[in-house]
Structure 1
Amino acid sequence: MKAFLQKANVLCLTSLLYITSLYSYAEEADARFDELLAMDLGNLLQVKIATGTAVSVKKAPAIATVITASDIEAMGANDLIDVLNTIPGLHMSRTSQGGAPSINFRGIVSVFGPHSLLMVDGVPLKSVVRGDSLIPWGGFPVQSIERIEVIRGPGSALLGADAFSGAVNIVTKSATDRVKNTVGAAVGSFNTRNLWGNLFHRIGDWSLALNVEWVESDGYSGFIERDEQTNLDELGDALFESGVLPFNPDDASNAPGYQSTGFEAIDLWANAENDSVKLSLGVQERNDLGVHQGILGALDPTGRLGGYRHILKAQLKPLPLSHDLTIEGNVSLYRMSQEVDSDLFLFPSGALFGAFPNGLIGNPEWEEETTRVEAKALYSGFKNNTIVLGGGYIRQNLYEVRESKNFNADLSPNPLGLVDVTDTADVFIPEKDRENVYLFVQNVLAITDAVSITAGARLDDYSDFGQTINPRVAAVWLANEDLTLKALYGRAFRAPAFAETSVVNNPLALGNPNLNPETIDTVELALAYSPDERSHIDMNVFYYKIDDFITFVPDSGATTSTAQNLGKRTGYGMEAQWRYALSEQWTGLVNMAYVKANDEVAHDDVGEYPELTGYLRINYTVNDQVDTSLQWFYVGEQNRIPGDIRANVNSYNRLDAAVTYTFTHYPTVLALKVENALNDDIREPSNGTADNGITPVAIPNDLPQPGRVLRLEVSTHF
């Protein structure tokens, strides 16, 4: 702690010297910070996660995007994945890890997808175990979302760990003058049923909101031609034919067969606020989740997962203490779990050449909680400068680990069968916690009415791996009313997850307590241009360099791999978007992104990301009653990871359409939506052991995605 305080003092002193020098340089400028951040009538959308204070996207010192509830309605999206895939440079898909989602920015990919930060109302939805947002996902319905704020690029200078490649903040609906009470229902393909309600009320100075949504679906049962157990079956045949095995083991694979993707999801988001405080409650319950293509790449038609995510947050809104000084703060508690509703068969009955006649069963469960306290002050007493100074405390606690399994650490059968190893030395990960104390400072200097510089840094001190400092600098130039230019630099980090530091009884992957955090340095240039009042163009280029990338390295003479800081990656690319309104009836949006990500250790492409993506949306209002939407997604060819000799994953196109009808005399809306209208064969890359000619990939033909999906919904406002 002494070392932390010393570095904090140095950070504050350095920042103060920097701010003083800028103040001296700009003492003749007239613009004040509040004027610089004033709402631009030509660009009303605001993003808060870029600066910690509300600022228009046009002036934000970051590559930022805001998607509103109206945008979501216009695109006809039903799930968060569909919404985020409309953003250039962001590709969201489901992975080989039980169908868990992965938010990948700019080709920065890994098995669990821990390099992006997903938040709801400013509270991170992160699991300290894997660094992801949990395998029990099931979907994230969108009827409760007011807007989504997205930053592409590093965000650790304000947001801390895991805002590595980008950050997504979901803001749930609150009571405002614009919203109406709504109830709705929908039915669709795969026996999908959906109910929701958005209820708002005012009592005196308090505004109350309750958003509830229920979804149940059998899920898309994509066909899997062969799986990991197929490989083992073929190996058993070969060993028998060569005389190594004295018997020919029976084939155990459930492939060819279908994925198990059904789920039940319940979401509740409630908040109460007045001019001073905001209280928020979030509940996500997931039940009866199929494990898609299986936990280890072997089809499991009966295994089921569940889990919860609970959020409590109390926020003190900006409180003026004087003309120049404002304070605010918040405290939150986030709890989440992974639960096994039905035994998980890592391999089916008869697996491992008959050694497991009842199947290889492993049921890892846990509960964890994260407590956060943060306070910050905004001071604008220096001419043309606004300083934000804050700090906080985070405690991540893995407080309940449970496991039952019928195998030992060396994959040999446990003679006692399925045994509960909770609270024993055989459990897959020990219960533990970590603490983090942090301090951040940021200054926004208005050099002129048109030019501003944002500079800041954050110092984090972790109880398990030590300290990290992450700075950022951004220059924004409003060249004229139509053109904005930005130059950005930032550093970010990702804290090692407990699965990377502490796993001890896993037959495949082991933790390393000596890991360092991963780091990334990013440089970006951007422009925003509005040639006329009906059109707006955004373009940016970027380059990044990643050090200490955590990689699982095979252990000599063992079946396990251990986490190591051996990876180095670089990447570069560009992103562009054009939003236009051809007339009052015709509006549209088109964007594209290109990225090239390199593994500097393997001297090869990183793989498992699309180098080129494109998106087009056209909205046409037929009349006061009928609105239509057409969307086209293009996902380019995806290279394989180094060492995987399979052909690249094919590019694909997806066409979506929607039509809504609003009744003239009733506040009711009917909508018909279709996804993948052309029923294209869409596949995302399967991962696993590289196909080096010796060890085959678990699912060689990749992961099938839903074909044509139909949905009919009705909603009414009151």
Structure 2
Amino acid sequence: MKPIFTLSALSAAMLLGQTQLAVAAEEKVERIEVTGSHIKRTDMEGPSPIQSISAGDLAATGSTDLIGALQKLPVSGAGTFSTQGNSSDDTANGGSSVALRGLGASSTLVLINGRRVAVSPFAKDIETSFVDLNTIPVSSVKRIDILKDGASATYGSDAVAGVINIILRNDIDGFELSGKVSDTADGGGEEQNFTLLWGSSTDKGQHNFALDYFKRGDVFYGDRDYTATADQRFRGGNNSLSSSGFPGSVEVVRGMLTDEQWARLPVTGTADDGTPIRQTIFADVWGNDTCPEEMIIGDICRYDYAPHMTLIPSTERVSFSYNGVQELTDGVEGFAEFAAQHASTFIQGAGSPSFTELTMMGDNPNHPLASDPSHFLHGVDISMRRRTVDIGNRKKDVDSEYYRAVIGARGNFKDWDWEVAYSTIRSSAVEKGFDGFPNKRLAQEAIDMGLWNPFEPSTNTAEGLAYFETTTTRYGSSTMQSVDGTISGELFELGAGYVSAAFGFESRREKIEDNPDSQYLRGEIFGTEATQANGDRDNTAVFAEFSVPVLDTLELQLAVRHEDYSDFGTTTDPKVAFRWAPVDSLVVRGSWGTAFRAPSLVQLHLGRTDESPSVIDKERCRQTGAEADCEPTEYTAVVAGNKELQPETSENYNLGVVWQATDDFSIGVDYWNYDQDDLIKKIGAQKLVDCCGTDPNLVVRAPMQGSTLGRILRINDTFVNIGGRDTDGFDLNLAYALTTQSMGEFKFTYNLTYALNFEEQSFESDDAGNTSIVVEDLNGEHEHPQYRWTAGVDWANNDWLATLNANYIDSYNDLADSDGNKFKIDSWTTFDATVSYIGFKDLTLTLGAANLFNEEAPFVPSDAMGIDAKTHSTLGRQAYFKFDYKF
């Protein structure tokens, strides 16, 4: 069945000059390979649900990069991330990826022209391996096919939630020049994008080249009035000001004090067993440099890091690509793809925080109470919570290189089509911290020698600060080499037609390196996350697929794939699908299959990595009621890999119907269901504190004061196979075309993804501290809106074209606060619009705006800045002008 229309009005205009060429090409090719199958077909409509996005559809979103368009799709869910929110604490600065169905970016397989791509060398949030979509410029994309059911039987690991197959342009004949400039209504994020395309097409081959330049300015949290402070109480949110302030707080640890010194500390309450509870944190209010009064909250000197942090990093990318096919002999053609990119990204974070890493002896001349013998802290060895604002904000540059090459041949032998190819991909990055990074060992030496007085910053000299300020380097690379081959054709004839088959193999080697410099490895850099991971694996796969015409109206698809991994064993995954067309206007389709996701090399081989998450110590809060315990507070969390991990497994099925009601109207409905087991997860600092806050192996605390828990010192986290996940829902797709005599042509679309269920297993503990696995229903909860939809209209009349798209995200519940209450996060609707004029020969001019009405991201109290940057965008209205010229 053919869809009503496959190109938006805008894309039709952009490709107007190439229509005759495309028609000629279609006449030559009787069979094409469709995403989700290795068997060539004569039509695009197969047994599995596929959503195709044309180059014009991408342009209509107003996005200059792929993630800007893909994250608006209703099928994109929790785990999708763009470059926004990449602060200095992020571990994947400048990267972006999509998570279909909310099952995680690592469960969505990204292909280019049907082949795998190497993952980014730097994992997201330490744990998530992903293909960085920013390495693929929009100008090189012909269309994007999204396969919305499991596809491990066809493509192997990671195709759990589905597949995003990016098809590169192969239709350029001549030269095309385009440019786009944009700016935002609220400042920052300005963009420039210029592209030169050239190519040739003959009966013997096609050769396509692209040169692309992209630059975006940064946006700071301080550039948006609603994110300009981490104290969100003015909006009804949390006080998320950092507990590491400036000049900071004095903190004492029981093990550093004598009994007599401990007994002198102020008493703030009494434990259930009558034991006095001692105050252990004191804001610095002594001397000349004191903590501002408005920043003393709960006896802690706080710091507002929001104005100094990157919300969207600045980036500059230069990309080159080639995509070509050339006839070698009669019936045999060679093909090649090459892509290269250099990217530079700048990220800034607030001054580095310390959490008791630094100490000062009681006899140090710079001790804040050295001149007050009567004070209870006089002569007491102390630690501190403070930010090294003295040496400036943390600044990092990330320079990355990306290379991809594919060379192969395809042909026909006795009515069987064959194809073989070799691929090599390398993605590397160097992250340099060039300002604002302290070395812990040297900082301690500077304190001990009196070179640096952390409690009187105004007295410090440039020489003293330079003694412990350092630069950092982190190098990462991800490589993949693979050889693959397929052969497909017809086996024999049944009554309803020929049984077709495809057989193939793939041999792949992957390697990843993520190496911070020796200062990180020695634990000398505090307050900044860094990862270390080194690993490699070999994989060999064989697969088979059959298309069986059971009846004239019924097609059956059978597929199976067997994979052998060098680091955890073998797996075999089948898939069964059908396509039934009882009448010409109706198609019923369905699929069932199993899928798997191998543990990523990062999850297996990650070395010790320190995080600094904000956590509410809910149990201690219930005991003390102190503001310092009931508000988000940063703690050190130690994360490491686990070589005993087993792969995630899943079972999925899909059942749908597509009805071409009239020549102008079609409707499609698909029900989908995923059942995953052995999920690989980093449990998370907050979850560990909630479930296991009294387990000293997981949550290390200061000694108890009677029956009252001591303050958290460290949280130990790792990756585990834990429980499972069940989710199901349906997709609705509507399309309607209207042609009028005087007002032009209209094309209307509506796409909805509605989740009926999203259950996930996790840890929980009872009052006695016993832990168990329970099921949480996350549907409609934090980062999991129950449904999303987009609606659009394209209009064309003579020399004018226009598009208007609406994007809707449902409301959902925020995370529970310390009292167990959940805030309702508002739904969010934005509009994108374009107007184009094509009256000039070979020239198209476009004015457009993304988020036309500058709709502010909804308020999310649990987030430090009051926004959910993984679900909503803070860029605001982005107006742009674009031109496309062909010559």
Which TM-score applies when normalising by structure 1?
Answer: 0.81
Please name the residue that 2:731 is paired with: 575
Greater shift after overlay, 118-127 or 443-452? 118-127
Please name the residue that 2:176 is paired with: 182
Task: Give the deviation of 1:368 after TM superposition.
Answer: 2.0
> Would you say 1:231 and 2:242 are equivalent positions?
yes
Question: 1:459–1:467: 8 Å Cα contact kept in structure 2?
Answer: yes
Q: Which of the numbers 474, 480, 485 marks the counterpart of 1:364?
A: 474
Q: Distance in 1 between matches of 2:670 and 2:46?
A: 14
Q: Distance in 1 between matches of 2:858 and 2:424?
A: 38
Question: 2:746–2:795: 8 Å Cα contact kept in structure 1?
Answer: yes
Question: 1:77–1:83: 8 Å Cα contact kept in structure 2?
Answer: yes
Q: Which of the numbers 282, 285, 289 marks the counterpart of 2:342?
A: 285
Task: Give the deviation of 1:120 after TM superposition.
Answer: 2.0
Q: Distance in 1 between matches of 2:353 and 2:490?
A: 55
> Would you say 1:106 and 2:101 are equivalent positions?
yes
Amino acid aligned to 1:436? N
Amino acid aligned to 1:575? D
Amino acid aligned to 1:104? A
Question: Matched residue of 2:853: which SS?
Answer: coil
Q: Distance in 2 between matches of 1:381 and 1:245?
A: 78
Change (3 A) 1:292 1:573: farther
Change (3 A) 1:61 1:40: farther
Please name the residue that 1:335 is paired with: 426
Question: 2:439–2:519: 8 Å Cα contact kept in structure 1?
Answer: no
CA deviations on 1:40-89 (whole Å, 9 max, x unpaired) are 99xx9976221124447763121111122243345554321243245442
Question: 2:809–2:829: 8 Å Cα contact kept in structure 1?
Answer: yes
Which TM-score applies when normalising by structure 2?
Answer: 0.66
Change (3 A) 1:364 1:702: same
Q: Which of the numbers 544, 568, 575 marks the counterpart of 2:674?
A: 544
Question: Matched residue of 1:90: which SS?
Answer: coil
Q: Distance in 1 between matches of 2:593 and 2:176?
A: 42
Please name the residue that 1:660 is paired with: 836
> Would you say 1:122 and 2:114 are equivalent positions?
yes
Please name the residue that 1:17 is paired with: none
Q: Which of the numbers 159, 167, 170 marks the counterpart of 1:163?
A: 159
Question: Matched residue of 1:114: which SS?
Answer: helix
* Two-structure CA RMSD over aligned residues (Å): 3.9
Question: 2:182–2:879: 8 Å Cα contact kept in structure 1?
Answer: yes
Question: Matched residue of 1:143: which SS?
Answer: helix
Q: How does 1:47-62 map to 2 (within 5 A)?
A: 48-55=34-41, 59-62=45-48
Please name the residue that 1:309 is paired with: 402
Q: Distance in 2 between matches of 1:459 and 1:128?
A: 26
Task: Give the deviation of 1:373 after TM superposition.
Answer: 0.7
Q: Distance in 2 between matches of 1:66 and 1:387?
A: 25
Question: 1:619–1:629: 8 Å Cα contact kept in structure 2?
Answer: yes
Question: Matched residue of 2:645: which SS?
Answer: coil
Please name the residue that 2:460 is paired with: none
Q: Distance in 2 between matches of 1:293 and 1:650?
A: 30
Question: 1:545–1:571: 8 Å Cα contact kept in structure 2?
Answer: yes
Q: Distance in 1 between matches of 2:671 and 2:746?
A: 30
CA deviations on 1:260-291 (whole Å, 9 max, x unpaired) are 52100122220221241211101222113436
Percent identity, aligned pairs only, is: 18
Q: Distance in 1 between matches of 2:43 and 2:789?
A: 22
Question: 1:313–1:332: 8 Å Cα contact kept in structure 2?
Answer: yes
> Would you say 1:320 and 2:412 are equivalent positions?
yes
Q: How does 1:161-560 map to 2 (within 5 A)?
A: 161-175=157-171, 181-189=175-183, 190-202=189-201, 205-223=204-222, 224=227, 225-226=229-230, 230-233=241-244, 237=249, 239=251, 243-245=279-281, 248=284, 253-259=304-310, 260-275=312-327, 276-290=333-347, 302-317=395-410, 319-323=411-415, 325-343=416-434, 363-383=473-493, 384-398=498-512, 401-404=514-517, 406-407=519-520, 428-507=531-610, 508-553=638-683, 556=698, 557=700, 559-560=715-716
Change (3 A) 1:526 1:442: same
Task: Give the deviation of 1:216 after TM superposition.
Answer: 0.7
Change (3 A) 1:614 1:202: closer
Q: Distance in 1 between matches of 2:552 and 2:661?
A: 21
Change (3 A) 1:588 1:368: same
Q: Distance in 2 between matches of 1:684 and 1:99?
A: 25
Question: Matched residue of 2:58: which SS?
Answer: helix
CA deviations on 1:492-541 (whole Å, 9 max, x unpaired) are 11111122111122123110001011112111101111111112211101
Q: Which of the numbers 849, 868, 872 marks the counterpart of 1:702?
A: 868
Task: Give the deviation of 1:243 after TM superposition.
Answer: 4.7
Change (3 A) 1:674 1:163: same
**Rg comparison, structure with higher value:** 2
Amino acid aligned to 1:210? F
Q: How does 1:12-51 map to 2 (within 5 A)?
A: 48-51=34-37
Q: How does 1:638-649 map to 2 (within 5 A)?
A: 638-640=812-814, 647-649=823-825
Q: Distance in 1 between matches of 2:64 and 2:424?
A: 28
Question: 2:220–2:307: 8 Å Cα contact kept in structure 1?
Answer: no
Question: 2:313–2:345: 8 Å Cα contact kept in structure 1?
Answer: no
CA deviations on 1:229-252 (whole Å, 9 max, x unpaired) are 933337965958975257728755
Question: Matched residue of 2:157: which SS?
Answer: coil
Q: Distance in 1 between matches of 2:136 and 2:413?
A: 40
Question: 1:344–1:361: 8 Å Cα contact kept in structure 2?
Answer: yes
Task: Give the deviation of 1:462 after TM superposition.
Answer: 0.5
Question: 1:222–1:706: 8 Å Cα contact kept in structure 2?
Answer: no
CA deviations on 1:179-238 (whole Å, 9 max, x unpaired) are 553101121113321110111124772321101211111034344422999333379659
Greater shift after overlay, 353-362 or 149-158? 353-362
Please name the residue that 1:599 is paired with: 760
> Would you say 1:620 and 2:795 are equivalent positions?
yes
Q: Distance in 2 between matches of 1:455 and 1:294?
A: 58
Question: 1:125–1:133: 8 Å Cα contact kept in structure 2?
Answer: no
Change (3 A) 1:135 1:465: closer
Task: Give the deviation of 1:105 after TM superposition.
Answer: 1.6
Question: 1:472–1:489: 8 Å Cα contact kept in structure 2?
Answer: yes
Q: Which of the numbers 809, 814, 823 marks the counterpart of 1:635?
A: 809
Question: Matched residue of 1:600: which SS?
Answer: strand
Task: Give the deviation of 1:363 after TM superposition.
Answer: 4.1
Change (3 A) 1:468 1:296: farther
Q: Distance in 2 between matches of 1:124 and 1:296?
A: 40
Question: Matched residue of 1:104: which SS?
Answer: coil
Question: 2:308–2:349: 8 Å Cα contact kept in structure 1?
Answer: no
Task: Give the deviation of 1:433 after TM superposition.
Answer: 1.3
Amino acid aligned to 2:166? I
Greater shift after overlay, 642-651 or 539-548? 642-651
Query: Gaps (5+ residues) in structure 2?
Result: 1-24, 184-188, 232-238, 253-265, 267-277, 285-290, 292-300, 328-332, 355-386, 448-452, 456-463, 611-637, 689-696, 701-713, 763-773
Greater shift after overlay, 496-505 or 300-309? 300-309
CA deviations on 1:116-173 (whole Å, 9 max, x unpaired) are 1122223333427538576976585422211111101211111111111111111111
